[in-house]
Amino acid sequence: MWQSIAEQISTELDIDFQITDKASLNGGSVNLAWHIQGQGRQFFVKLNQRERLEQFENEQWSLQKLAQQGAIRVPEVICVGQTLDKAFLVLEYLPLQMETELGWQQLGEQLAALHARHEQAMFGFDWDNFIGLTVQPNQWQSNWSSFFSEQRLGWQLQLLAEQGFGVGNIDKMVEQSRQLLAQHKPLPSLLHGDLWRGNVGFTAEGPVVFDPACYFGDREADVAFTGLFARFPEAFYQSYQAVYPLHEGYQQRKSLYNLYHVLNHANQFRGSYLLQAQELIKQLFH
């Protein structure tokens, strides 16, 4: 397996790369992570079963889309592929440092700069991708309230119902969500899509983000998720607001946007996330 990965790195970079040292890394709940090195070069490798290749390809495309924007640093993609029994994604290896207030401030400024580039007229993406292990549909739509209510909430609610965990009348909740967003007319921004603390790091040169699930949507959905699990430090929000202030009504929409992620966690992990989803639904949909 490792020889096959080394050969593909060699082909992509037009070098003769041989792995002289490798070490397993902690952190990923979905994939195995490795640090490999040789000939003075280092790489970060994600491994999973062969059938996970599509997820790695989607991650590659999201990382490349973010890199094209030049607003926030992401690891450079080296290659993606398969061995006899594994799928792999090879990325630039970035040594991470302790977080600092300045780093969070820079991240806020950079995310605001990314969100301020309204280059797309519609909501969605050129392909469906994954949020964690769950398929994330991204069919292009011109209406944000319909896109979010149908392809985010409705999709997750349907997945839950199909597994025997229905939490209410799906059509009714989708319609109520559409009504809650009806007067909100955001411009599409490129979103990271899965922006929580576990997908943020800091290097000597500044912040870096990982594991995106990109699409063009309401920027408030990215910002909302930063406060759901282990809220980002205040320096992040202050610097974001200074560059691109959030619209009026954000505090009311924040819980609706985060319901998507709670439902996704309920779909993947059950347990307390199911209870959290039910509680949020009670608050939002009377």
- The residue extents of the domains of the chain are 1-92, 101-285
What region does 132 belong to: left with phi over 0, alpha with psi -120 to 50, or beta? left
Confidence of residue 239 (pLDDT cuts 50, 70, 90): very high
CA–CA separation, 173 vs 177, rounded Å? Answer: 6
Q: Answer whether 50's CB lies under 8 Å from 87's CB.
A: yes
| Architecture of the domain defined by 101-285 | Alpha-Beta Complex (3.90)
Mean pLDDT taken over the chain: 95
Catalytic residues: 194
- Sheet strands (E) in 117-250: 129-131, 134-136, 189-191, 200-203, 206-209, 215-217
Q: What does the pLDDT look like over 109-119, one tens digit per residue?
A: 999 999 999 99
The Cα–Cα gap between 162 and 41 comes to 47
Closest CA to 142 of 117, 114, 123, 116: 123
- pTM here is 0.94
- What architecture does CATH give domain 1-92? 2-Layer Sandwich (3.30)
How would you label 231-240 residue by residue, b for 16+ Cβ within 10 Å and e otherwise?
ebbebbbebb
Percent of the chain with pLDDT over 70: 99
| Contact in structure between 190 and 171 (CB atoms under 8 Å) | no
Q: Tell me the C-alpha distance between 138 and 123, whole Å.
A: 8
